């Protein structure tokens, strides 16, 4: 994946698209206050300029998600192999193996893993009487049937919309052809109005994501840790007018 920080406006549509696509629960402001947010994707904001001169400050937005590291530090500490590396280079979660030690989250330098402290999809959110019971029907109808709903005590994170990748591969196989560049679009990429996100096969030198990754503006977050992040960012261009 490649993300152009010049194009990104920080609108947050990618965050909501990811939430809807992957059945990420709404936890409420009280949980967010204590650091228990569940969004797989967050928007980090950085202020550029002299803090003593607020009128000169510029804001840069950086979407931060699982970097799908080649040498993922989260994988080596999991005692039950609940987080594993796929043959395609994606850091996958096996939800029914997870026992909730949270070692992987503590060992992640990007802090993009999310732990289910509660049974969020069964939480009544303080409603009384029959309100909670009546409210469950429309909430469940809004779930994506292609993505598993995680329960309490399970770790979760971004997986590059692996269900979309699998569906596209099956369709291509049935048609007797190879997967084309740009055929798979993640939810965050599809929702980005600024077209700041590119996704594809980095092993294909002709793919758009490969060309962007070799751009002079391209960099990897915390690359000095040698974990091999697979998300490249194109640095923000700040030419003065």
Q: Where are the domains of the chain?
A: 2-234
Chain segment 144-170, per-residue pLDDT in tens: 999 999 999 999 999 999 999 999 999
Say which residues have a Cβ less than 8 Å from residue 175's Cβ, sequence separation at least 6: none
pLDDT of residue 189: 97
For residue 170, give the H/E element and its range. Answer: helix 162-174
> Is the pLDDT reported for residue 17 higher than 90?
yes
pLDDT of residue 129: 53
The arithmetic mean of pLDDT across residues 9-36, rounded, is 93
Q: What percent of the chain has pLDDT over 90?
A: 74
> Is the pLDDT reported for residue 127 higher than 90?
no
Are 184 and 165 a contacting pair, CB within 8 Å? yes
pLDDT of residue 219: 96
Tokens linked to 204? 């294909």
The arithmetic mean of pLDDT across residues 211-228, rounded, is 94
Query: In which band, very low, low, confident or very high, does the pLDDT at 126 lie, cut at 50, 70 and 90?
Result: very low
pLDDT, the chain, mean: 90
Angle (CA) 102-144-79 rounded to 5° is 20
How many angstroms separate the first and last alpha carbons of the chain?
A: 31
For residue 44, give the H/E element and its range. Answer: strand 42-48
Query: In which band, very low, low, confident or very high, does the pLDDT at 55 lie, cut at 50, 70 and 90?
Result: confident
What CATH number does the domain located at 2-234 have?
A: 3.30.70.20
**Structure-token match 């009544």, residue found:** 124
Are 6 and 212 a contacting pair, CB within 8 Å? no
H runs (alpha helix) in the chain: 13-21, 29-33, 73-77, 103-107, 131-141, 162-174, 187-191, 208-213
**What SS3 state is found at 149?**
coil
> Is the pLDDT reported for residue 107 higher than 90?
yes
């Amino acid at each position: 994946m490649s993300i152009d920080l010049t194009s990104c406006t920080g609108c947050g549509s990618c965050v909501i698209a990811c939430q809807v696509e992957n059945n990420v629960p709404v936890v409420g402001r009280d949980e967010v206050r204590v650091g228990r947010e569940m969004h797989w994707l967050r928007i980090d904001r950085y202020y550029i300029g002299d803090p003593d001169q607020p009128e000169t400050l510029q804001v840069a937005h950086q979407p931060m998600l699982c970097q799908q590291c080649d040498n993922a530090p989260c994988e080596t500490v999991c005692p039950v192999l609940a987080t594993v590396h796929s043959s395609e280079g994606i850091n996958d979660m096996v939800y029914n193996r997870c026992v909730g030690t949270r070692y992987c989250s503590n060992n992640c330098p990007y802090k993009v893993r999310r732990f289910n402290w509660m049974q969020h999809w069964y939480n009544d959110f303080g409603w009384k009487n029959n309100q909670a019971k009546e409210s469950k029907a429309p909430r469940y109808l809004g779930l994506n049937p292609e993505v598993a709903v995680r329960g309490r005590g399970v770790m979760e994170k971004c997986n590059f919309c692996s269900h979309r990748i699998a569906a596209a591969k099956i369709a291509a196989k049935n048609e007797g052809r190879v997967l084309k560049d740009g055929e798979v679009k993640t939810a965050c990429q599809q929702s980005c109005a600024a077209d700041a996100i590119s996704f594809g096969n980095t092993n294909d030198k002709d793919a758009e994501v490969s060309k962007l990754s070799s751009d002079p503006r391209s960099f990897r977050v915390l690359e000095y840790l040698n974990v091999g992040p697979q998300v490249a960012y194109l640095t923000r261009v700040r030419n003065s007018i």
